[in-house]
């Protein structure tokens, strides 16, 4: 072996899936990770209180610093029930005061993550939203303008890291132009190098201060790589380290994803050699550690690279753990989210809370795991909120008014960007069956014109966005009768 100071286990980040595995399975995986000596864990799902206890247990068991990460692009509540859900980045960019909104989101996310021991916030997405058929970015992006994405992403990062957590800019050097999901296979971006400069710009804007960057499982022939950027020295070391001058920690995307290939343990060796410091979510942590250790013994240069990765990860983690927590600002989630709703109150002209109203849920999303905070069927939150406000909600086809809550969000392994023709038709038929109808789109605003019916955009399937849509409706319906409208545009 390479010795304790360059233990290959220290660069491996094991997964703990509270959203899919039984408590016994989670505990067993955590114990095995500790026995192997992994550098940390990435968490998915679970109740916040339980996650806090789990993190405390693994930290005590390790007796050393650990990277504890989670994908929290839409607030800590994206993964952990009991914490705050927030609108996705595209919605934050649509807020009347986007600079303040992204700073509030970054700070709140970090504070709540740290409250349960998560010190690595794997966000924000700095990919450009430039390809409508992209199946995995869309609302996860701050937009299509490289300068604006860099500015808003930088504000989010600054707020997150000032609270003491490590942020992670992803997916370098840009996943926005793909038409294939890297969870499924290896996307190739055939754009010329001058065009890819736009994709690099947001990462260049934050390279001097973000704590970590995640490499994409995407190929970029114009940048000299026909394989995933994750295993490309020219992209990871040459471009990110060399040209952009990034000195923080570089992580792989999840190594279980199809874009890295079938043998992710051997791919981890290549990723380390390319310049990555953390191997995130391998299929088999033990096999990956063994492959890294074996390769380091055989190759002195790789052993040196391993030592550099372990040292860099340790220094970065210590720097952010010692940061002073920021004071917590006031953020009321539903009001905050309501301000991001895109819609014209005239879309509900003639509506009345006293008319019978049907709420229908229509989903374009496969069942690959609901948002952490979701409770009940799609549309139930809008229905319950309006009923509580005195609306006459009836599950009857002859209702005078119909609200279709349409979920059409980017999801891993979904494989498409635009809502399918079938679900659009289903939504349209339901709306047209009533005297007055409206679609509440839980997806990107660019799909509003394709609905073929009046609609508003509520961006994502988090509970807070359905509640915000209900709040918008409560405010907008009286508005068309002469009373002031509430939030929403």
pLDDT at 429 (0 to 100): 95
Q: Check whether 459 has a pLDDT greater than 60.
A: yes
Rg of the chain (C-alpha set): 23
Query: Which range among 329-333, 394-398, 427-431 shows the weakest confidence by mean pLDDT?
Result: 329-333
The catalytically annotated residue of 199, 253, 264, 277 is: 253
Kindly state the tokens that stand for 278: 């953390």
Share of the chain above pLDDT 70, in %: 92
pLDDT at 315 (0 to 100): 85
pLDDT at 365 (0 to 100): 84
List C-alpha distances in Å: 362 to 88, 126, 403, 426: 20, 30, 10, 7
183 is catalytic: yes
Residue 44 contacts residue 20 (beta carbons within 8 Å) = yes
Mean of the pLDDT values across residues 438-455?
Answer: 97
Element (H, E) at 167: strand 166-172
Q: Check whether 27 has a pLDDT greater than 60.
A: yes
Q: Check whether 321 has a pLDDT greater than 60.
A: no
Tell me the per-residue pLDDT of 72-130, one tens digit each, with 9 for 90 and over. 999 999 999 999 999 999 999 999 999 999 999 999 999 999 999 999 999 999 999 99
Q: Which residues of 342-366 are buried (b: 16+ CB within 10 A; e: fewer)?
A: bbebebbeebbbebbbbbbbbbbbe
Q: How confident is the model at residue 448 (pLDDT cuts 50, 70, 90)?
A: very high
Residue 392 contacts residue 347 (beta carbons within 8 Å) = no
Element (H, E) at 168: strand 166-172
What is the bridge-based pairing of β-strands 225-228 and 166-172?
unpaired
The segment with the largest mean pLDDT, out of 295-309, 361-375, 411-425, is 295-309
What does the H/E/C string look like for 371-425?
Answer: CCCCCCCCCHHHHHHHHHCCCEECCCCCCCEEEEEEEECCCCCCCCCCCCHHHHH
pLDDT at 486 (0 to 100): 43
444 is catalytic: no
Tell me the per-residue pLDDT of 232-284, one tens digit each, with 9 for 90 and over. 999 999 999 999 999 999 999 999 999 999 999 999 999 999 999 999 999 99
pLDDT at 322 (0 to 100): 43
The catalytically annotated residue of 95, 175, 183, 444 is: 183
The segment with the largest mean pLDDT, out of 3-7, 375-379, 438-442, 476-480, is 438-442
Kindly state the tokens that stand for 144: 């299509």
pLDDT at 328 (0 to 100): 45
Mean of the pLDDT values across residues 412-435?
Answer: 93
Q: How confident is the model at residue 26 (pLDDT cuts 50, 70, 90)?
A: very high
Say how far apart CA 190 and CA 178 lie, in whole Å: 9
Cβ-in-10-Å burial (0-12, 13-18, 19+) of 115 comes to middle
Mean of the pLDDT values across residues 400-413?
Answer: 94
Average pLDDT, the chain: 93
């Amino acid at each position: 072996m390479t010795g304790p100071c360059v233990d290959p286990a220290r660069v491996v980040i094991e997964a703990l899936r509270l959203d899919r595995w039984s408590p016994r399975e989670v505990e067993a995986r955590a114990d095995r990770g500790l026995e192997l000596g992994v550098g940390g864990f990435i968490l998915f799902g679970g109740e916040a209180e339980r996650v806090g206890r789990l993190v405390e247990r693994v930290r005590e068991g390790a007796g050393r610093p650990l990277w504890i990460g989670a994908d929290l692009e839409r607030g800590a509540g994206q993964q952990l029930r009991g914490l705050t859900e927030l609108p996705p980045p595209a919605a934050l960019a649509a807020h009347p005061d986007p600079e303040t909104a992204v700073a509030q989101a970054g700070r709140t996310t970090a504070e709540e993550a740290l409250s349960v021991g998560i010190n690595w916030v794997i966000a924000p997405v700095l990919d450009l939203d430039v390809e409508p058929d992209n199946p995995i970015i869309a609302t996860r992006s701050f937009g299509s303008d490289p300068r604006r994405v860099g500015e808003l992403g930088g504000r989010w990062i600054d707020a997150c890291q000032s609270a003491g957590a490590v942020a992670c800019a992803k997916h370098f050097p840009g996943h926005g132009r793909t038409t294939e999901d890297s969870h499924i296979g290896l996307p190739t971006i055939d754009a010329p190098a001058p065009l890819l400069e736009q994709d690099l710009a947001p990462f260049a804007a934050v390279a001097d201060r973000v704590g970590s960057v995640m490499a994409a499982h995407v190929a970029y022939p114009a940048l000299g790589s026909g394989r995933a950027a994750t295993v490309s020295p020219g992209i990871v070391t040459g471009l990110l380290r060399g040209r952009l001058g990034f000195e923080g920690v570089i992580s792989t995307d999840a190594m279980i994803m199809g874009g890295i290939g079938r043998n992710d343990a051997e791919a981890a060796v290549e990723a380390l050699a390319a310049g990555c410091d953390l191997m995130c979510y391998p299929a088999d942590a033990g096999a990956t550690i063994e492959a890294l250790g074996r390769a380091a013994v055989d190759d002195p240069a790789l052993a040196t690279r391993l030592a550099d990765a372990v040292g860099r990860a340790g220094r970065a983690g210590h720097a952010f753990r010692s940061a002073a927590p920021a004071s917590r600002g006031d953020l009321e989630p539903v009001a905050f989210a309501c301000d991001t709703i895109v819609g014209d109150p005239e879309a509900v002209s003639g509506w009345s809370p006293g008319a019978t109203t049907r709420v229908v849920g229509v989903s374009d999303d496969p069942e690959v795991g609901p948002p952490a905070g979701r409770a009940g069927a799609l549309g139930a939150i809008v229905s319950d909120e309006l009923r509580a406000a005195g609306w006459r909600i009836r599950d009857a086809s002859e209702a005078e008014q119909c609200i279709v809550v349409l979920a059409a969000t980017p999801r891993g392994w979904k494989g498409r960007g635009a809502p399918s023709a079938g679900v659009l038709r289903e939504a349209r038929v339901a709306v047209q069956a009533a005297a007055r109808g409206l679609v509440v789109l839980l997806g990107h605003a660019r799909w509003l014109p394709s609905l073929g019916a009046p609609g508003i955009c509520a961006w994502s399937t988090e509970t807070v966005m359905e509640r915000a849509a209900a709040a918008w409706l409560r405010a907008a319906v009286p508005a068309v009768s002469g009373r002031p409208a509430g939030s929403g545009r």
